[in-house]
Amino acid sequence: MQCIERIADLRRAVKAARREGRKIGLVPTMGALHCGHAALIAQAAKDGCFTIVSIFVNPAQFAPNEDLDRYPRTLKRDLQVAAEVGADLVFAPAAAEIYPAGFNTWVEVEGSLANCLCGASRPGHFRGVATVVLKLFNMTDPDQAYFGEKDYQQLQVIRRFAQDLDLPLKILSVPIVREADGLAMSSRNKYLSPEERSVAPWLYKALRAAAEAAASGEEDIQAIRRYALDRIASQPALQLEYLEIADGDSLQLLHELRPGAVMLVAARLGNTRLIDNIRLI
């Protein structure tokens, strides 16, 4: 497995893979790889792709008061994980390689898709995400790009700009990978203290309670939300940011339950922000 830091070298590697008749699969990450990332990489490899994993802690998607400086950086271990599950190449650039001096062009998805939910509390976040992902697409010219469903709003934002800009690739998603107690795997879980870690699974318990209510025939949106809200409220350490039921494609908030509905939640636990989601029907 190659590890490359420069865009020019990355493009040469992609061209070489194309000459060999390989299709290109891209797995964008910010590193601190866990089993969720491994599932993405393994899927790309299983699909027969020349599998590229990008590892880049993207400063453009962090607000000034967020955790850019302390975000876990574990490149040596990440390279081992990527190699073990079938990556062919890791692209691990410095920030100056992605955003050279004078950089001043941004990709922005407008409307409620990017401005609701996480976008409401993290202004500019999805602009940073969309910009770096489009740059990675331009650098690697992938046939397929793989994203996890835990970052559900991010997935829908990327699908939208790929469609709107007529990008010639498939955006593929892989289901959330969870710990044994249900906690969605995330690089930020490393921040949790032992006490916080014991509380964190309640977020998924809340989502499960809502999904079970919907599966049992409950159709009232507010009643379904209450099943989840009551369980979150039972854990005072969980400071709820939002809990909403939305259309799975547009993320428009729903007033009545319909096929494709997704419940999405964000909460803070100490200094850690957790997000999760579950499909209701």
pLDDT along the chain (281 residues), means of 10: 98 98 98 98 98 98 95 98 98 98 96 93 96 98 98 98 97 98 98 98 98 97 98 98 97 96 98 97 90
The answer to whether domain 2-174 and domain 187-275 are alike in fold is no
The domains of the chain are located at 2-174, 187-275
Give pLDDT, residue 159: 97
- Please tell me which residue in 34, 37, 125, 255 is annotated as part of the active site: 37
Q: What's the rounded Cα separation, in Å, for the pair 50 and 26?
A: 8
CA dihedral 98, 34, 124, 196 (to 10 degrees): -140
> What pLDDT was estimated at residue 263?
98
Letter for the amino acid at 76? K
CATH topology of domain 187-275: Pantoate--beta-alanine Ligase; Chain: A,domain 2 (3.30.1300)
Please report the pLDDT score of residue 112 as a whole number: 83
Q: Does this model's pTM top 0.95?
A: yes
Report the DSSP pairing between strands 170-174 and 144-148.
Answer: parallel
37 is an active site residue: yes
Q: Tell me: domain 2-174, CATH 3.40.50.620, correct?
A: yes
